Structure formats: structure tokens, C-alpha cells
Amino acid sequence: MAKRGRTKAKNPARPIRTKRDHEAAAAVVKTMSDQTDRDSAAERRLQSLLHELDRFDESEDYESADRPEDQEYPGPRRRWSDE
């Protein structure tokens, strides 16, 4: 049986969805950026992680603008079951 080669992913880094993911990815980026001799795969991963960090930061900015805590709302908070 012949061995199959590993296919290269278009995005080596998975999407960052939580602050915990963001902190872990930031730690990996810091570690990788300190290394001087990176191969091309490590460089692609680093660039992908930086891209995902930027996307998370942008989405966090948009979410904070839509939060009701930022706006003055004198009434009680509604729950989904109140409707």
C-alpha cells in the first residue's frame, strides 16, 4: 500500500473564537517570532496566526460597538424567554 503525502492546508491556523484562544495564539506568535531560523512552513503558520489574531481583534471591536452596556438603557434587561 502506498503512503499518501500530507496535503497542505490553505490556512494552517484554526480560527480564533475566544479570548483563551487569542492568548494562546499570541503566546505562540511571540515564541515563533523569537526564532531566527524558521522554515517556510513555520513562516506561513506565523503569518496565518497573525492574520487570525487581526481578524479576532476586528470582530471584537465590532461586537463592543453593538453591546447594550455601552449604551444608556434605563430599563430592565430582557431575556429571550420574555417574548
74 part of a folded domain: no
- The answer to whether residue 41 sits within a structural domain is yes
- Secondary structure class of 75 (helix, strand, coil): coil
Name which residue leads in pLDDT, 71 or 47.
47
Does residue 75 surpass a pLDDT of 70? Answer: no
pLDDT at 18 over 60: yes
Q: How many domains does the chain have?
A: 1
Closest listed residue to residue 54, CA positions, set 27, 25, 31, 32: 25
Cα Rg of the chain (Å, integer): 20
Per-residue pLDDT at 66 exceeds 80? no
What is the separation, in whole angstroms, between the first and last Cα of the chain? 61
Q: Is residue 73 part of a domain?
A: no
Can you give the residue range of the structural domain that contains 36? 12-64
Quick one: pLDDT at residue 14? 84
Question: Within 13 A of 69's CA, how many CA atoms are on the CB side?
Answer: 2
